[in-house]
């Protein structure tokens, strides 16, 4: 049963992407997506709350994988290293989803309402990551700073990778983590 549910959700997502690309996001309706997928509008709403959610349906899977990776990270890692380790752990998930993610990102980048929705989803994910980091013993401030900074870096690396696949996502994340550590370690003249 779960396989059929996954198949139907994927079918609806493919239909939505096709329609968004053909006629634009604003002119596409949930009824049109359902018709393209060969199902009723009622079936569409069993899988997605609205047409925006077709593009954000994988968020729960990503969240779960990231939270699991944080919980399983070695205890000696600090908050930022733990977070980036969790980002690296979802690389194959993102790579496997790339054929959907590339056109998805193009649609989001061209649609202000979707950009706002994406920012809200990223903020909620950062909040969940902060809670997970705090559960590992980081302070509230460390947890929130690491999660918000890390989530912004992860989003930036992912979008850049979707637009240009080389260097790969893992390399981009490594470079960003190194840059963040270098930046945080730098002492300004006022601090001396």
pLDDT tens digit sequence for 8-41: 999 999 999 999 999 999 999 999 999 999 999 9
On the question of pLDDT at 49 being above 70, the answer is: yes
On the question of pLDDT at 3 being above 60, the answer is: no
Best CA proximity match to 163, nearest among 96, 101, 88, 89: 101
Q: What domains are defined for the chain?
A: 1-52 (1.10.10.60), 56-185 (1.10.357.10)
What's 143's DSSP letter? H
Cβ burial 115-125 (10 Å sphere, 16+ → b, else e): eebbeebbeeb
pLDDT band at 2; cut points 50, 70, 90: very low
On the question of pLDDT at 192 being above 70, the answer is: no
On the question of pLDDT at 191 being above 70, the answer is: no
Residues in the chain, total: 192
**pTM, full prediction:** 0.88
DSSP string of 35-66, one letter each residue: HHHTS-HHHHHHH-SSGGGGGTTTHHHHHHHH
């Amino acid at each position: 049963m779960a396989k059929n549910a996954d198949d139907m959700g994927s079918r609806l997502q493919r239909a939505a992407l096709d329609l968004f690309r053909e006629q634009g996001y604003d002119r596409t309706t949930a009824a049109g997506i359902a018709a393209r997928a060969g199902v009723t509008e009622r079936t569409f709403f069993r899988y997605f709350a609205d047409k925006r959610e077709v593009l954000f349906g994988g968020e729960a899977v990503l969240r779960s994988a990231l939270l699991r990776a944080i919980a399983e990270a070695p205890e000696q890692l600090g908050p930022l290293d733990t977070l980036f380790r969790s980002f690296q752990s979802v690389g194959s998930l993102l790579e496997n989803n790339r054929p959907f993610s590339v056109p998805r990102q193009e649609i989001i980048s061209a649609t202000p309402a979707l950009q706002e929705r994406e920012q809200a989803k990223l903020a909620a994910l950062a909040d969940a990551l902060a809670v997970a980091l705090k559960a590992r013993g980081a302070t509230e401030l460390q947890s929130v700073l690491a999660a918000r900074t890390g989530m912004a870096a992860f989003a930036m690396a992912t979008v850049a990778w979707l637009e240009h696949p080389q260097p790969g996502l893992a390399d981009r994340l490594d470079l960003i983590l190194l840059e963040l550590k270098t930046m945080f370690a730098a002492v300004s003249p006022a601090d001396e």
